[in-house]
Amino acid sequence: MAMRKVRDYDAELKALNDKARSLKAKKVEQLGQLVTVTGADTLDPDVLAGVLIAAVETPNTEAKEAWRAKGAAFFQQRRKKARA
């Protein structure tokens, strides 16, 4: 009779926590890169924080869609430059 292998829940939980920590660090790094690539790193940190807070808090879906379109165009332009 074969016995089932005992699962090491502590090791699995540690691995999941490590992965979550790694993903969070990657997200923070990507946000930093985004700030630099867009030129927003030239803004005063208070101004940048205020702009981001206003964007998050705005209920205006038309403004958000316009910002999304502008962002998408920015990344399309960067992709074209990267290919050339």
pTM for the structure as a whole: 0.71
Alpha-carbon distance of 44 to 51, in angstroms, equals 11
User: pLDDT by residue (tens digit) across 31-41?
Assistant: 999 999 999 99
Residue-level pLDDT at 78: 84
DSSP structure string for 20-62: HHHHHHHHHHHHHHHHHHHTGGGS-HHHHHHHHHHHHH---HH
Of 80, 43, 47, nearest in space to 72 by CA:
80
Contacts of 29 (CB under 8 A, 6+ apart): none
> How many residues does the structure list for the chain?
84
The domain spans of the chain are 60-84
